[in-house]
Structure 1
Amino acid sequence: MTSIAASPAIKFLKQPTTEAWVDRAIAHLDTILLDHSHCERKAAGVALNLMFRYPSYDKLVRQLTAIAREELEHFELVNQWLERRGIALAALPAPPYGASLNAHIRRQEPERLLDALLVSALIEARSHERLGLLAQHCPDAELATFYRTLMASEARHYGTYWVLANTYCDPSAVAERLEALSVIESDILSTPHPEPRIHS
């Protein structure tokens, strides 16, 4: 797949996003914004679900509380952009990306916790990369600035999930599983979804 040479490498990601994704996203910004709203809501839900599943893990609960709060703040900000552009909140079929990654989460502990944290880290890393590309290529200067303001948060989030994985799991197991899941993540995106989405 053709990648964007000028795009800096993002930690954890095996393959950079293609020019074709950028072109399709810029041509369908309203759909990308609506999908972004759904992504922020889902990200908050993921953090909350992990807190409920592992309530005795103090550091996890504390740090994911902060992430859930920030994701909901981003959800509200994206929804303000939707309102500003006259885009109604509506259901939007999800691409297979998230479900395909989640299908590789093992069901027994402690592997389940490890995989859930690393899948979240990879999704946040890809979000960081793609919001950066939108900031770089978006023709609406104000919207581009908005995307740029979210990039640091996405980078912090994927770092937090990775640190939590190393906190609660053996670091050698983290490195080995991250290598495997990062290959899977890039493989999923190697077959482009026909509809424009943040993770398509």
Structure 2
Amino acid sequence: MDEPVTVSIERSHPEVDSRIRFLLQPTRSGWVEQAIANLDTILLDHSHCERKAASAALNLMFRYPSSAKLVRMLTAIAREELEHFEQVNGWLDKRGISLAPLNAPPYGGKLKAQVRRQEPERMLDFLLVCGLIEARSHERLGLLGQYCPEPELAAFYRGLMASEARHYGIYWVLADTYFERPVVNARLTALAAVESEILSSLHPEPRIHS
């Protein structure tokens, strides 16, 4: 394991904006310290995150097959997430890390527990939860791109930021397409508060969403 590090997050960096749409609270510096001290684990978890993101897009497509715009836009997301999955797995190979299971942090499970059971609220909640996860991924990959001490790996993470921003934008567009904007905004505010609360304490195991 690498030596402990101390990180002071500078929000003036042009590629890391603490005011990312969807997010109520920025990531604390403690997560950055934990992540860059455990880069191999973070990479392994990142691989799982990309696979889960592709699965989430596919599941929404299968659940709402008659929603043509949703199917079209999420097909592109699923394809791109699988490309990222392959890219991250290439980094695992370079570092001699086997693709193995990891204990999941409470983040995803607690967010998905907020999804209401009845339609059409269920569809809205799934879209916004996916958007929140993508927004947080965008922020945290940007922080890794800024603070990772390995230049090549840092550049890789910076290269992923644009696609993550596009993904959470797509989930927002879809929510805004199928639901009235005041309804979307009110529900997003409620879910974003839950998302920030989940991350208010640092999970002891390093993860992308810990």
Q: Same fold (TM over 0.5)?
A: yes
Q: Is the 8 A contact 1:135 1:143 kept in 2?
A: yes
Matched residues in 2 for 1:4 and 1:95: separation?
23
Distance 1:193 1:45 in 2: 24
1:177 CA drift (Å): 0.2
1:120 and 1:158 in contact (8 A); partners too? yes
Contact 1:132–1:147 (CA under 8 A) maintained in structure 2: yes
What letter matches 1:25 in structure 2?
A: A
Does 2:99 align with 1:79?
no
Please list every run of 5 or more consecutive structure 2 residues that lacks an aligned counterpart in the other structure: 1-6
For residues 73 and 89 of structure 1, the distance between their equivalents in structure 2, rounded to whole angstroms, comes to 16
Q: Which runs of 5+ in 1 are unaligned?
A: none
- With the length of structure 2 as denominator, give the TM-score of the two structures: 0.93
1:68 equivalent among 67, 78, 83: 78
Say if 2:30 and 2:202, in contact at 8 Å, map to a contact too. no
Aligned length: 199
CA–CA distance in structure 2, aligned partners of residues 172 and 178 of structure 1: 10
Asked if the contact 1:166–1:174 (Cα under 8 Å) also holds between the matched residues in 2, the reply is yes
Alpha-carbon distance between aligned partners in 1 of 2:20 and 2:143, rounded to the nearest angstrom = 12
Distance 1:187 1:63 in 2: 30
- Supply the distance in 1 between the matched residues of 2:125 and 2:154 (Cα, whole angstroms): 33
Shift of 1:170: 1.3
Q: Where do 1:24-63 residues align within 5 Å? A: 24-63=34-73
3, 9, 29: which is aligned to 1:4? 9
**Is 2:159 aligned against 1:149?**
yes
Q: In structure 2, how many angstroms separate the alpha carbons of the residues matched to 1:5 and 1:84?
A: 30
Q: Deviations over 1:136-185 (max 9, x none)?
A: 00011000000011000000000000000010111110000000000000
Aligned counterpart for 2:31 among listed residues 5, 11, 21: 21
Contact 1:125 1:154 in 2 (8 A): yes
Matched residue type, 1:136: Q
> Match of 1:125, SS?
helix
| Alpha-carbon contact 2:25-2:196 (below 8 Å) kept | yes
Separation of aligned partners in 1, 2:65 and 2:29: 42
Identical columns (%): 71
